[in-house]
């Protein structure tokens, strides 16, 4: 969700990304949100997430060891340079219900369309494996 400084919702993004880890999904959401905020002309960003790993990595307090996450991290950092200020804030999952609802909507839409033939019993391909953090 993208809100203005008063808290009014100015846009919502619900997009399925296919089979991915939670960390990849969190980074993808950050990329989509920052891209849309830039399109809307935002100057200052407060990126809130219930992923402590994402917030700590983007804030520079945790290292990013995984190669796939390193690429996504670099993309977020590149997008962040377009803004006068970007702040990262961890919020408890229970305070992030609207964002969770949008994420679930994106998954449901993906499963109803492009991912209709996917089944949880399928084994993950090597490309999906991220390895240990």
CATH number of 2-111: 3.30.420.10
Per the listing, tokens 């609802």 go with 101
Each domain of the chain, given as residue ranges in start order, spans 2-111
Show pLDDT as tens, one digit a residue, over the chain (133 residues): 888 888 898 888 777 777 778 899 899 999 999 999 999 999 999 999 999 999 999 999 999 999 999 999 999 999 999 999 999 999 987 776 776 666 666 666 655 777 677 677 655 544 444 444 4
The secondary element (H helix, E strand) that includes residue 125 is: none
H or E element that contains 10: strand 9-11
Query: pLDDT tens digits for 8-23?
Result: 988 887 777 777 788 9
Q: How far apart are CA 132 and CA 108, in angstroms?
A: 28
pLDDT by residue (tens digit) across 32-43?
A: 999 999 999 999
Supply the angle between the helices 97-112 and 22-39 in degrees, to the nearest 10: 100
Q: Quick one: 2 exposed, middle or buried, by C-beta within 10 A (0-12, 13-18, 19+)?
A: middle
């Amino acid at each position: 969700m993208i809100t203005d400084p008063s808290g009014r919702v100015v846009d919502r993004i619900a997009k399925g990304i296919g089979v991915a880890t939670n960390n990849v999904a969190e980074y993808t959401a950050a990329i989509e949100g920052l891209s849309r905020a830039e399109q809307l002309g935002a100057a200052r960003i407060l990126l809130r997430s219930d992923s402590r790993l994402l917030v700590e990595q983007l804030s520079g307090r945790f290292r990013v060891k995984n190669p796939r996450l390193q690429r996504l991290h670099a993309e977020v950092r590149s997008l962040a340079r377009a803004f006068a200020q970007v702040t990262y804030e961890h919020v408890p999952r229970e305070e992030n219900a609207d964002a969770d609802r949008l994420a679930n909507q994106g998954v449901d839409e993906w499963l109803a369309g492009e991912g209709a033939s996917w089944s949880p019993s399928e084994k993950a391909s090597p490309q999906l494996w991220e390895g240990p953090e």
